[in-house]
Chains A and B, each alone.
Chain A
Amino acid sequence: MAEQVIKPDLDFVKGVMASGGESLKKCYQCATCSVVCNVTPDDHPFPRKEMVWAQWGLKEKFVGNPDVWLCHQCNDCTAYCPRGAQPGEVLGAIRKQGIKEYAAVSFLSDLVGDKSKVALLFAIPAILVALVISMAGNWAPEGDVIFSKFMPIITIQMLFTPALLFGVVVAFLGVKKFWTDMKQANGVSSGDLKGSIIAALTEIVSHKKFQTCDVSKDRYISHGLVFFSFVALFITTAIGAVYIDVLHMESPFYLGYGTPVKILGNAGAIAIIAGVVLMMSNRLKNEATLGKGSYFDWMLLSLILTIGLSGLLAELTRVAGIGTMAYPIYFIHLVSVLALFLYLPYSKLAHMFYRTAAISFIKYSGRDSQSPEVAAAVSAVATGEPAEEEQTKTEQSS
């Protein structure tokens, strides 16, 4: 057996345990988790190997490892785990470490991931929005409730567009680094990038992986609701931006409730609230079997719920003409949306980038379909011939 010196990174272990993976050390490597998981590929099954890597602090094993991102958090593994080691929660915590590792401006990562800094987390966007309103807006506009009197559209754009841009750029840089690491770690040099991304996006849109979850079947519905409402609200916002900035026309949102853009926006708002509430209630309902979810997890859910609720309530109170309620609610809405944009690459929402990249990568590297090698290994076991070569490899690498 080849000699290998293992250098445990204890901070990594502590980090995983502190962010929802506190049950990590209970794992005794039976591999029930890898078997009950319907999402894992047969040739690189997770999460059993990730559990031992994390226990041993083998942080480098996670660099450029797409597998943790292929996990869809069904938590079938956690439900069947004989030790209460909650592999689903541990993998979530490992992903959090990955997000932190890849995102630039690391103090923002700490801010987003640390429960004790929640006040500061929201103070930053709140102060930014308040500053802009104090300078260019009006804290208590007279007359009909019109939000642009409170914070003019141009100032929203001046604040929110750079914030989103910042988030996207940081996320892009992180994903780029992740992609390079994945290529290096897996010894992949070339592939069909465009085709892989298209195939990955098609898979993501279809939500077909979620349909394979056994214990939390309704995750397919809740994630789908949130996902598609994000798409709907993005489209709505984009249309607004095109009307105002490109066509230099009046905002399409004044056109009335029967217009497609208004219907899409309102439907999106209702769906996003429904989706997040479903996610939250499922987590609470299944807490005993599937784990309670981490702070990181609940932070994103709460933020999205706040955005959805404040958006819808701001609209309702505006229509009702209750300015004293509409403006403060609208303020909350603006702050929470700004938080979402600013913290995009640092929050759990960053999974949209890394998971897309990981799914694309396994298609890019051709690892997606079961390789002939694996089929041979399976039949070798099935005919009683020990897959010696495979065993030696593992022993050497472990």
Chain B
Amino acid sequence: MSEQVSQILVVGGGISGISTAVEAAEAGYNVTVVEQAPFLGGRVARMNKYFPKLCPPACGLEINFRRIKLNSRIEYLTLAEVENISGSSGNFDVTVTQRPRFINDKCVSCGACAEACPVEVPNDFNLGMSNRKAAYMPYEQAFPQQYVIDEHACQKDSCGEACKKACKYDAIDLSMQPLSYVTKYKSIVLATGWKPYDASKMDNLGFTTSKNIIANVAMERLASKNGPTQGKIVRPSDGKEAKRVAFVQCAGSRDENHLAYCSAVCCLASLKQITYVREQYPDAEIYMFYIDLRTSGTTYERFLNTVKDDEKVTLIKGKVAKVHEDQSTGDIIVEAEDIMAGKKIKVPVDLCVLATGMQSTLGDMRLPHEVKINENGFMVEDINQPGIYAVGCAKDPMDVAKSVQGATGAALKAIQTVRRSA
């Protein structure tokens, strides 16, 4: 930890967290970002494109990483988690534990350790659709640009020496131990983000029964150049080009049995993903099944209309409630009622994308400090508990644009607390 006195703690290093940190730091306040993954960027780093501009998130992340790198007021801890928060507004005592990276700052990210590493495990960055080594770079653009050794996968005793020998820079240190810090902060911003709702919980949507039924987050990886298929959208079962694709909206969202609320982004995410497929295969046919298309705001509405105008895209009002694989062909049969026609239909497709919603990570997290959580698992800022604020999807399901806008507000709230307690 630096000698500088940190003032604001940001929990979570995704787009909301780093935006908050940058905003506060550039206004002259000292910020610490605590991120549990070995890299910053969170869910956004896994996205192929943003809607509605269809530009790559890599671009915005790069700018933010540069702002972090150049700003001495920002300190970030990866592989770190907040263990405990005590005290109150203006005077919090925070315990942070940091898991060992086993690779020190001497790393020049040459990749020799990964080459030497004999252990292969499913790559969580690609949602298990590819493998990685136990010594790995989370993804090409990862920040910090530093390899990491997966403490659960690494077989230290049997091959640790080979790994060490492979590194010319003496960057590997398998003896690293977890660290614990206790620091004072004046205010805290929770940017704990979201996770995709577990699609296997919807037993009627067949997620566990076929590889060709995927979640929307997996589609982002399939379409990404740095994804498991180098950006080629194919069926996971046999690599066949996915030219007939069904998008199943509200897969778990607006459903009392799952997520009772609208996840706010899935309609636009699917419309965006439709453009991925249509761009790749000019003859591809798309079926998007929805209850309502929620694309509020002029730009989003315009985006919907653009996709709608594509004659290869069929939007069907009616929620898909049964999905299964045709065992002989690997095709996926999606069943819905075409409400406007008043008929039940079965549509065979190559790939079925479940538009799963955003679930708060706060709900099942052991919270280091008591915060008010609403019935949907998102944080409610409590007027009786100043000093702790929420930003992005810790607060509500929302898209990147709104998260970033909110980050400016969250930074200001955090700054106000710092000023008041000064």
Footprint of B on A, CB under 8 Å?
28-36, 40, 42-45, 48-49, 80-84, 374, 377-378, 381-384, 386-387, 390-391, 394-395
Contacts and interface: CB of A to CB of B under 8 A. Distances in A.
Interface residues of B, number: 33
B343 A35 contact: no
B291 A35 contact: no
B256 A83 contact: yes
A273 to B, nearest CB: 34
A34 B337 CA distance: 7
A43 B291 contact: no
Contact of B335 (A35, A82, A374, A384): A35
A381 B319 contact: no
A114 to B, nearest CB: 31
A391 B340 CA distance: 5
B256 A45 contact: no
Given A30-B250, A36-B322, 6 more contacts: A34-B337, A43-B344, A48-B337, A82-B255, A378-B345, A381-B347
A31 B292 CA distance: 12
B348 interface: yes
Contacts of B339: 29, 31, 48
B322 A35 contact: yes
Interface stretch (B97-105, B156-164, B310-318, B381-389): B310-318
B204 interface: yes
Interface string B134-161: 0000000000000000000000000000
Given A48-B337, A384-B314, A30 B348 contact: no
Nearest to A38: B322
B338 to A, nearest CB: 6
A45 B339 CA distance: 10
A167 to B, nearest CB: 37
Nearest to B202: A80
A390 B341 contact: yes
Interface in B339-364: 339-348
A384 B338 contact: no
B314 A45 contact: no
A31 B256 contact: no
B336 interface: yes
A35 B318 CA distance: 9
B343 A390 contact: yes
B254 interface: yes
A36 B204 contact: yes
18 contacts: A28-B254, A30-B254, A31-B337, A35-B320, A35-B322, A40-B344, A42-B345, A45-B337, A82-B255, A82-B257, A83-B256, A377-B338, A381-B314, A381-B347, A382-B345, A384-B314, A391-B341, A394-B341
A377 B343 contact: yes
A383 B349 CA distance: 11
A40 to B, nearest CB: 7
B325 interface: no
Contact of A80 (B257, B342, B346): B257
A394 B339 CA distance: 9
Contact of B316 (A28, A82, A84, A381): A381
Contacts of A36: 204, 321-322
A351 to B, nearest CB: 24
A65 to B, nearest CB: 13
Contacts of A382: 345, 347-348
A382 to B, nearest CB: 5
A394 to B, nearest CB: 5
User: Which 9 residue pairs are nearest across A and B when measured between Cβ atoms?
Assistant: A35-B321, A82-B255, A31-B337, A390-B341, A42-B344, A30-B319, A34-B337, A32-B321, A30-B291
Contacts of A377: 338, 341, 343, 345
B336 A387 contact: no
A35 B319 contact: yes
A381 B336 CA distance: 11
With most chain A CB atoms within 10 A of its CB, the pick from B312, B314, B338 is B338
Contacts of B285: 383-384
Contacts of B321: 31-33, 35-36, 80
Contacts of B336: 31, 35
Contact of B343 (A83, A84, A374, A395): A374
Nearest to B319: A30
B285 to A, nearest CB: 5
Contacts of B318: 30-31, 35
A348 to B, nearest CB: 28
B413 to A, nearest CB: 35
B319 A49 contact: no
Contacts of A387: 338, 341
A32 B343 contact: no
Contacts of B344: 34-35, 40, 42-43, 45
B319 A378 contact: no
Interface string B257-271: 110000000000000
A28 B291 contact: yes
Contacts of B291: 28-30
A394 B337 contact: no
A84 B256 contact: yes
A33 B345 CA distance: 14
A45 B250 contact: no
Contacts of A381: 287, 314, 316, 338, 341, 345, 347
Contacts of A29: 291, 339
A395 B337 contact: no
A84 B257 CA distance: 9
A60 B340 CA distance: 20
A325 to B, nearest CB: 49
Contacts of A83: 255-256
A49 B342 contact: yes
A331 B319 CA distance: 54
A49 B343 CA distance: 11
Contacts of A31: 318-319, 321, 336-337, 339
Nearest to B340: A391
Contacts of A40: 344
Nearest to A377: B343
A377 B314 CA distance: 14
A34 B319 CA distance: 10
A23 to B, nearest CB: 11
B341 A82 contact: no
Nearest to B255: A82
Interface string B279-323: 000000101000100000000000000000001101010111110
